[in-house]
A and B are shown apart, each in its own frame.
Chain A
Amino acid sequence: MEYKTIVCDVLVVGAGGAGCRAAIEASNHNLDVIMLSKELLGKAHTSMAEGGINVALGNVDPKDDPATHFKDTVVGGNYINNQELVEILVDNATSRVYDLEEMGAVFDRTPEGKIAQRPFGKQSWRRTAYASDRTGSEIMVTLVEAIRKSSVRVFDEMFATKLLVQDGRIAGVTAIDMKYGDYLVFRAKAVVMATGGAGRIYKVTSNAQLDVGDGYAMAYEAGCEMIDMEMIQFHPTGMTRPESAKGRLVTEAVRGEGGILLNSEGERFMKNYYPQVMELAGRDQVARSIMTEVIEGRGSPTGGAYLSISHLPKRIVEFRLESMIEQFGDAGVDIREEPMEVSPTCHHFMGGISIDTDAQASIPGLFASGECMGGLHGGNRLGGNALCDTQVFGALSGENAAKFAKEHSLTGFDREVAKQEFDRVEAMLQRKDGISPADAREELNNLMWSKVQIFRNEEDLEYAVKELKRIQKEVVPKIKVDVPIKRFNPGWHQAIEFAHMVTTARMVAETAYMRKGSRGAHYRVDADPDDKGYYNIVIRKGDDGEMDLKRKDLVITKIQPP
């Protein structure tokens, strides 16, 4: 199998908020930096983040400070966050938000001209900086402009499929040029993974189409330690209709600005669950409250709850929630007058590639940041902390990848491994009989949505693990592409993605099955009361090729679990 080889100092896999930020940082060190994007540059899921970015500027609540941001993040994460990482997050958030401003980002403002901040769930003060309800889009646009200004070489519509490891060190990745179907090996002294999440393993998700967990699967296969994979955030408010928009995010800013949740009887039901904080309880708590109302027969016709802001002044809604007006307008709902129907949607993976305080994974020379990295958010991520994560850890991973690249020479790679990988993906094109990616994906999506969901139990999880093992063994090797062409063939790309989705799903199901008690987003209806859950679960690929799961002690610097 023929392939091209391209060499650089630092390779960044992924071009969302974290990837762009990492590439910009690395390029500041006079290095040759390449960034791979699976879609066109600027189209990454970061642009779909709506509500804002947490930063303890204290512009509207002067008492706010990083220490309070730290406490809120750890308490919100149900005490299983890696507190060393949380310290990095809160200590660097301010500088990184000012970086964004310097790159040109336009935030909303207080009357005196400072960056405005809004309240978000589980936060002591108004901390979330925003650009209306299109904050992620503003940040993405800004980062892309900064990338254009930089010396970073961007290869877009380039699908990285496998990490190459040589003698225990990272060596590069194999990739497919989606436009023409060419095979490539990117060699680098250091690699940053910034591949985002995997919401697409679930039937209902807020995630963009390409968020299938490529990075989790690639890192796992390469031998990285993965952490907290059972912790999946179901955002409480996704759209319920139309069918095509099902799962689309309805920003937490709606509740932050004063929106209330009602059941079919018109009751503001959050008072029965979390009377102190009501709609601004943790995302996991609000999601479970809505689902309980639905299960007990007080749901809306489309199986959700009503979210109403019609009591707010129209001007506020029009100014601060302009995307929501457009989004629901397309579905025929005027949110200034009528309530929205919402229900939980798979939104964020708290878990991912385990990193140290240099953002380095367990393979030397491999770094990770953004959603594909795990441990920072613990059992539940606060709204506004994800964008913050992309900027703080994006910059950190880029800086340390640059340092690593300066201190190390290029390592070789095993041509046989690259060849085998290209043979594997080529075989999908040639296969005559088998299963189509669309059918395989549907089966996986339904399995995860019905068995590894918000309310979990032993029987479902055991079944899911068994089924996923079967899919891995029987379906993955039989994936076929109907039209055997290489040029921009989406069927082929989905076939390759499917193996990544299954590996990711299995990590989620296996860890969820191992954790017998409830903690954070992992809620067991049959929870073992003796399992308080103050530990993390890590996974590695064992010597026998099977998933090796272990409990690991929490990393605590300041706050002890109660």
Chain B
Amino acid sequence: MILRIARSRQGGKITHYDLYKVQFEKGMSILDVLFQVQDRMDPSLSFRYSCRGAVCGSCGMLINKMPRLACRTQPETVMDESMNLQDFPPIMGRPEGWDPEKEILIEPLPNLPILKDLVVDMTAFYAALEELRLWAEPAEGEKARNQKPDQRDKIRRYLNCIMCALCYGSCPINHESAEYLGPAALAKAWRFYDDSRTPNADRYLKDALKPNGAPMCELIMNCVRACPKGVAPGGAIRKIKSHDKE
């Protein structure tokens, strides 16, 4: 099996692609074959990883032009799969020389600046969480809180978000507009708004409806297709939009 991996020693943009021939055994993930490259061929190849099991959300990258977690992607199936994403520049076209029949193409996640090789700068993604002040502001003085199972179930889907930024990297609006807060932050805003324990729920909704928030979303739903945890941020954004009075 051959990997065609995007390289960028100084960051900024992809400077070239390196080819690596890796040994593949059934059951291996893209992360495993990247380890092979790092351990046996090029220890300077940079990519983020931690848990190996789709919990930490560190290893998001573009694999055969689809935003995916390396640890949850099987090389043998990725060649035949398609996420049916709506096209936008980084996921379109073919780098010169790429033979999709023979090589798996691995590139950094789009829409975020490249720091080195497959490592991107997540600052903008995290800044959106700060901008929307996505943390609990609970009523004080209470000890045990009550939340009925059905109240909890309403937000259950959104709790599964692992902040991997695949939604951000798959979104054509994020690609066009640096100021757009992106799907993950907006889904989290809905999670706080819809949490039965939140005393000031409206502020989360109001913030999410800022001009650079939900109104910019065109409901393309690439985020829903790319999300590895079934969070479906686009669904939350649709709900936020439905509360827009204008």
Q: Contact residues of A with B, CB < 8 Å?
A: 39-45, 47-48, 57, 98, 101-104, 106, 108-115, 131, 134, 137-138, 141-142, 145-146, 148-149, 179, 208-210, 241-245, 248, 323, 326-327, 330-331, 436-438, 481-483, 485, 487-491, 494
Contact = CB atoms under 8 A, between A and B. Distances in A.
Given A104-B136, A244-B29, A490-B38, A109 B50 contact: no
A64 to B, nearest CB: 15
B135 interface: yes
Interface extent on B, as a size class? 35 or more
A48 B195 CA distance: 24
Nearest to B43: A491
Interface of B: 9-11, 25-29, 31-32, 38-40, 42-46, 48-58, 72, 115-117, 119, 122, 126, 129-130, 133-136, 138, 143-149, 151-152, 155-156, 159-163, 192, 195, 197
A482 B159 contact: no
A47 B56 CA distance: 6
B53 A109 contact: no
Contact of A106 (B43, B129, B155): B155
Contacts, number: 168
A113 B28 CA distance: 42
B50 A210 contact: yes
Given A43-B58, A104-B138, A488 B116 contact: yes
Contacts of B160: 134
A55 to B, nearest CB: 11
B171 to A, nearest CB: 20
Nearest to B121: A179
A242 B26 contact: yes
B149 A487 contact: no
Contact of B43 (A142, A331, A438): A438
Contact of A244 (B9, B31, B136): B31
B28 A243 contact: yes
Contacts of B119: 488
A490 B46 contact: yes
Contacts of A48: 51, 53, 55-56
Contacts of B147: 106, 109, 113
A109 B150 CA distance: 9
B55 A244 contact: no
B145 A101 contact: yes
B138 to A, nearest CB: 5
Contacts of A41: 126
Contacts of A436: 43
A408 to B, nearest CB: 31
B144 A104 contact: no
Contacts of B156: 106
